[in-house]
Amino acid sequence: EMVMTQSPGTLSVSPGERVTLSCRASQGFSTNLAWFQQKPGQPPSLLVYDASARASGVPARFSGSGSGTDFTLTISSLQSEDFAVYYCQQYNNWPYTFGQGTKLEIK
Amino acid sequence: QVQLHESGPGLVKPSETLSLTCTVSGASINSDYWGWVRQTAGEGLEWIGRFVPSGSAVYNPSLKTRVAMSRDTSKNQFSLKLNSVTASDTALYFCVRDLNIWGRGTMVTVSS
């Protein structure tokens, strides 16, 4: 099973800041990676698929990059509604696996 | 728009079988990929299994001996059965379409 490791576990940031979240895979693959945002009481919501393609309706401040074993999600200027937990998920190998999440909290 | 709704008992006794149904509206389960994901505080998010468009199911090897998924195309529903449950199966269970459509989830607690 492919292990996805996200860092950091928690990130304290201020609105307006630029943040970069990391996701590392235990095995290399191309770009079959997605990023999700989850807010309390809600299911995860797809932000990015194929490592860098924004899902429908996702603001342009969210961007994904990477391939192989290292992937990043960048939020160019944090808005108040972006404070949430972010997960990466690989869908290259079954079983698909998620990272443990990075929580963005208000500084 | 596509909507998914999970239903089933919220409480299951240890060693018994957890049964959930996902009712889909706005899309046909005959196409696309449909599956189940669960979320626990300890283990995070975990894929349980998914259907491919042909209708066959693949299961997470960690659960394969205990899980069965089925679908009823006439009702546009698919179901999950997980047997011999323990407290570690206590989780929020989501049905999903591919990556982008999720149900709101249903909490299942395993307890006597």
Q: Express each pLDDT in B50-90 by its tens digit.
A: 998 788 999 999 999 999 999 999 999 999 999 999 999 99
| Residue A52, both tokens | 């860098």
The predicted pLDDT at position B43 comes to 86
pLDDT of residue B31: 86
Q: Which residue from A43, A56, A101 is facing B104, i.e. has the nearest CB?
A: A43
Neighboring chain A residues of B58 at a CB cutoff of 8 Å = 94
Pick from B46, B58, B99: CB nearest A34: B99
Strand ranges, E, within chain A: 4-7, 10-13, 19-29, 33-38, 45-49, 53-54, 62-75, 85-90, 97-98, 102-106
Tell me the residue type at A60.
A
What does the pLDDT read at residue B4?
98
Q: What is the pLDDT of residue B54?
A: 82
Question: 3-state DSSP call for residue B87?
Answer: helix
pLDDT, chain B, mean: 96
Show residues of chain B in contact with A9, CB under 8 Å: none
Q: How far apart are CA B11 and CA B109, in angstroms?
A: 5
| pLDDT for the residue numbered B53 | 79
pLDDT at B33 over 90: yes
Residues 6+ apart with CB under 8 A from B21: B6, B7, B8, B77, B78, B79, B80
pLDDT 10s digit of each residue in chain A, 107 long? 999 999 999 999 999 999 999 999 999 999 999 999 999 999 999 999 999 999 999 999 999 999 999 999 999 999 999 999 999 999 999 999 999 999 999 98
All residues of chain B having their beta carbon less than 8 Å from the beta carbon of residue A43 are 94, 102-105
